Amino acid sequence: MELWFSEYQTKNVKLSFRVKDLVYTKQSKYQYISVFDTEDFGRVLMLDDTVMLTTRDEFMYHEMISHVPLLTHQNASKVLIIGGGDGGTVREVLKHPVKEVHLVEIDEEVVETSKKYFPTISCGLSDERVKIFYEDGIEFVKNHKGYDIVIIDSTDPVGPAVGLFSAQFYKDVSNALSEDGIMAAQTETPVLFPELVKRIYDGISSAFTFTNPYTAVVPTYPGAFWTFTMGSKSIDPLSREIIPETNFDTKYYNPKLHKAYFTLPPFLEDIILPVEE
C-alpha cells in the first residue's frame, strides 16, 4: 500500500511525497502540524498541509534568509526573528558573532515539534543567546525596538500570518530597527503568485529607504523559485563591499555571489519594478 502526502500549491498544482513513515501529527491552537519521512526529501514538516521544510533542501532557504542580511549589515549584535519556530533561521544567525537573538513564534507547538523531530534544525534554540517569545509578531514589533536585523520567517499570508505581509507591519518593523538596521523577509514566489509578490514589494518599499529583492531556488516551495526582500533604513545593500569568504560553512550561500543574488531575471523585474514614464 502506498501513502502520499500532497500540498495543493494552487487549486490545479500539487506537490506530492510518497510517505515512508508517518512520524507525528497534531492539531495545535493555530494549525495542523504533520511530520513524515520520505524517500527522496528526508523528513518533512508541514503546517496546514503546506511544506515548511524538508531536511533535504531547508539549507537553501535558511541560509539565504539569514546570511544575505547579516553579511550586508556586517556588524549586527541584536537580531529579531518573527515566525521561524523550527529554528533553522536561528541556527544560521548564530554562525555570526551576534549577542542576542529574539525569536517570536506564535505557536509553541511548532518549536516543540522541531525540538523533538528535527534536531539538526532546532539545534540553536537552546543557545544562551536565544530568547523565545510565544507571541504574535505583529504586536511584538510595536513594543520592542533597537534591533540591527529583523528577519520575517513566516508562513504564507493566511491565518495569523496575514498581517505579517501588510504595509503597516513593515513600517512597524522599520521602527523596531536601529538607524542602520536591515529587514529581510520571505516574500513568496513570482512563478505562481506575481500579484502577491508585487503587493509585498510595494508594502516594503513604502516603509524603507532601500528595497532590494533577491532570489533563491527552494525545490519544495511553490514554483521552486523563491524571493526574499531586504528593506534597509540607511545602508544601500548594493554599495557594500562583501568579503568573498565566510568563516563558517555554507552549502547554498556563496559570498562571491552575494551581489548577484540581487540581480533579478527580467520577468521578475517586470512584475515588481515601477513602470518608468
**Binding residues for ligand SAM (CB under 6 A):** 30, 47, 52-53, 61, 82-86, 104-107, 110, 136-138, 153-155, 160-161, 164, 186
Closer residue to ligand SAM, CB minimum distance, 5 or 210: 5
The distance of closest approach from Cβ of residue 37 to ligand SAM in the complex, given in angstroms and rounded to an integer, is 18
Least gap, CB of 69 to ligand SAM (angstroms): 15
Catalytic choice (57, 153, 156, 172): 153
Inter-helix orientation angle 167-176/194-205, to 10°: 40
CB of 253 to ligand SAM, least distance (A): 15
Nearer to ligand SAM, 62 or 235 (CB): 62
Is 153 among the catalytic positions?
yes
Give the residue among 160, 29, 28, 30 at the shortest CA–CA distance from 82. 160
What span, in angstroms and rounded, lies between the C-alpha atoms of 71 and 125? 21
In angstroms, give the least distance from the CB of 113 to ligand SAM.
9
Q: What is the arrangement of strands in the sheet containing 32-38, beginning at the earlier edge strand?
A: 4-10, 13-27, 32-38, 43-47, 50-54
Name the residue whose CB lies closest to ligand SAM: 83
Q: Determine if residue 223 is left, alpha or beta; phi over 0 gives left, psi from -120 to 50 gives alpha, anything else beta.
A: left
Kindly give the pairing relationship between strand 100-104 and strand 177-186: unpaired
Nearer to ligand SAM among residue 86 and residue 148 (C-beta): 86
Grid cell 511553490 — which residue? 222
Residue 254, C-beta contacts closer than 8 angstroms, at least 6 positions apart = none
Largest CA distance in the chain: 60
Cβ proximity to ligand SAM: between 29 and 256 the closer is 29
Q: Active-site positions?
A: 153
